[in-house]
Structure 1
Amino acid sequence: MPSAALDQSDKDSEPFAEVDPTGRYGRYPELLGSGAVKKVYRAFDQEEGIEVAWNQVKLRNFEDYPEMIDRLYSEVRLLRTLKNRNIISLHNVWRDEERGKLNFITEVCTSGNLREYRKKHRHVSVKALKKWSKQILKGLEYLHTHDPCIIHRDLNCSNVFVNGNVGQVKIGDLGLAAIVDESHAAHSVIGTPEFMAPELFEEDYTESVDVYSFGMCLLEMVTVEIPYTECDSLPKIYKKVISGVRPQAMSKVRDPEVRAFIEKCLGKPRARPSASELLSDPFFDGINDGDEDD
């Protein structure tokens, strides 16, 4: 039990629904988010005195899908190796055999995901959007220059997280990430269709698919609209993406500089700049995201 642990018998303290085997982390009943694979609860690190996120996966749900469990394990293994201020960090992981659950503790961002944050704050300057964009690209640059290279493959505004009080954004949900082999190409179709680069559907791609997805994220940040909302089915989205037809939301981007930058990100694979190249684009001239002294 950590020395700084709070006495849960105190009638004024908020009771934990669950405590990890070491007694360090306590999970509250409050749900921060829920997806197809995992639930994320508010939790507390008693040793450091900080709030954290308790990610919980019921492994029994996926007994017939061993590849899904493998994917989860890879997310956790991957997160443990990554240290970057624009990537969500992992503190601890354990498997609860008795309950058939995989638990892992990650840092928590106070303002939730970027999609909800942007909906809540409708009036945001281009400068602020550039600051967020620069940090997302720094996270991507870290992943793409990692050895081995890591492709996120499912970058969208719902898995970029925000600490609104300091204007900090971090990339999370690396469960679909692929560590690229020496051929520098990956081979599987996975992700969120509206944000997927055309070559992802062809199952032969490189890390530049994340740059395309980032372009769609920036489009959503600017318009507060998920790309291709005009399509009422996945096949229609697929057809437009493969044909290179831009989302209707592009017509709502009034700033020509922003529009040109998004187009650069959505270009053909070989013409698409890397995250590093985009960071040195004149688009970011004079933009300080607060991490410049790193």
Structure 2
Amino acid sequence: MPSTNPVPVDQDSELFVEVDPTGRYGRYSDLLGAGAMKKVYRAFDQEEGIEVAWNQVKLRNFCDDPATIDRLNSEVRLLRTLKNKNIIALYSVWRDKRQNTLNFITEVCTSGNLREYRKKHKHVSLKALKKWSKQILKGLDYLHTQELSIIHRDLNCSNVFINGNIGQVKIGDFGLAATVAKNQSAHSILGTPEFMAPELYEEDYTELIDIYSYGMCVLEMVTLELPYSECDTVAKIYKKVTSGLRPQAMDKVRDPEVKAFIEKCLGQPRARPSAADLLKDSFFDDIDDDDNDDGVNDNDQAP
């Protein structure tokens, strides 16, 4: 059983709030983030000597909600199968019956999510934005080309994480992900309204909804504005999206190349390119895959 008492290694060591059953991972009290279902704490892998993220769900909060429990279990099962440098890695998972919590250890990105990172660094070159965008696409291409295609269904800048010191970007938060066979469709309405493709509302969609969401992520990265922020209700967002009206933030994109690339991502499902197609787009011609600096430069402006 995990201990909930501080576990000192010696008198100079930091105190853990709890450790995992193996004694390898120790959790600190520092909160990295919190969502509707789980809290994410700073933790330490004593074997590898690296910081990690300790995801914890208090299962008693969902005792009357088996669908949520199923979703959490699905996320963990899915994460266990994913091995890609642009996808958050899962290291360990266990259930603490005494505390009635589900715990899983994942890779941590030192600079947090891309939304907060971009707000913090307002002067970012177009080259840097392209690097981040390309890495997200690589993660999507990996997900979409699995034997059972994995649709993230909630891709947005708060679910993309970054190691700012090396400009490495990773997709995380797979709580709403679904797997579908090739040439099949999914049928549940889930996601973040500002980033949801029109066909998602019609409950008949493929992995290309992630490309639409990706286009909205690029738009947010470029403009520092949440898509459809002019709408004060979900109903108004729904009306605009299903009518094919673009968010007002599109008017702020000055660079025609960037605007055209975003429009490709937001196109009708049959015309929308796959992640693999977009990776070959001329938009990325000046980006070297091995060029991993984070591109933050106070003299450069986003388009």
Q: TM-score range by the shorter chain?
A: over 0.9
Task: Give how far 1:290 is off.
Answer: 2.4
Give the structure 2 partner of residue 80 of structure 1: 80
Give the structure 2 partner of residue 167 of structure 1: 167
Q: Is the contact between residue 222 and residue 253 of structure 2 (CA under 8 Å) also seen in structure 1? A: yes
- Aligned partner of 2:145: which letter? T
Task: Give how far 1:144 is off.
Answer: 0.1
Give the structure 1 partner of residue 262 of structure 2: 262
* Per-residue deviation, residues 233-270 of structure 1 (Å, max 9, x unmatched): 00000000000100000000000000000000000000
Q: Distance between the aligned counterparts of 2:267 and 2:141, measured in 1?
A: 18
Task: Give how far 1:11 is off.
Answer: 2.7
Runs of at least 5 residues in structure 1 that lack an aligned partner in the other structure: 1-6
Q: Is the contact between residue 92 and residue 106 of structure 1 (CA under 8 Å) also seen in structure 2? A: yes
Matched positions, count = 286
Q: Distance between the aligned counterparts of 2:59 and 2:169, measured in 1?
A: 30
Give the structure 2 partner of residue 110 of structure 1: 110
Task: Give how far 1:131 is off.
Answer: 0.3
Give the structure 2 partner of residue 189 of structure 1: 189
The reply to whether residue 121 of structure 1 matches residue 114 of structure 2 is no
* Per-residue deviation, residues 2-44 of structure 1 (Å, max 9, x unmatched): xxxxx81523221000000000000000000000010000000
| TM-score relative to the length of structure 2 | 0.93
Runs of at least 5 residues in structure 2 that lack an aligned partner in the other structure: 1-6, 293-303
Task: Give how far 1:147 is off.
Answer: 1.1
Q: Distance between the aligned counterparts of 1:221 and 1:141, measured in 2?
A: 20
Q: Kindly report which structure 2 residues correspond to 1:2-81, keeping only aligned pairs within 5 A, or say none.
A: 8-81=8-81
Q: Distance between the aligned counterparts of 2:252 and 2:8, measured in 1?
A: 53
Q: Is the contact between residue 195 and residue 213 of structure 1 (CA under 8 Å) also seen in structure 2? A: yes
Give the structure 2 partner of residue 225 of structure 1: 225
- Aligned partner of 2:51: which letter? E
Q: Is the contact between residue 132 and residue 289 of structure 1 (CA under 8 Å) also seen in structure 2? A: no
Give the structure 1 partner of residue 283 of structure 2: 283
Task: Give how far 1:282 is off.
Answer: 0.5
Cα RMSD, aligned residues only: 1.1
Q: 1:113 to 1:67 in 2, by over 3 A?
A: same
Structure with greater contact order relative to length (CA < 8 Å, sep ≥ 6): 2
Q: Distance between the aligned counterparts of 1:123 and 1:25, measured in 2?
A: 37
Task: Give how far 1:152 is off.
Answer: 0.2
3-state DSSP of counterpart to 2:73: helix
Q: Distance between the aligned counterparts of 1:11 and 1:212, measured in 2?
A: 53
Q: Kindly report which structure 2 residues correspond to 1:233-272, keeping only aligned pairs within 5 A, or say none.
A: 233-272=233-272
Give the structure 1 partner of residue 295 of structure 2: none
Q: Is the contact between residue 52 and residue 105 of structure 2 (CA under 8 Å) also seen in structure 1? A: yes
Farther off after superposition, 274-283 or 172-181: 172-181
Q: Aligned residues: percent identity?
A: 77
Q: Is the contact between residue 33 and residue 41 of structure 2 (CA under 8 Å) also seen in structure 1? A: yes
Q: Distance between the aligned counterparts of 2:9 and 2:111, measured in 1?
A: 30
Deviating above 4 A after TM superposition, structure 1's stretches of 4 or more consecutive aligned residues are: none
Task: Give how far 1:133 is off.
Answer: 0.4
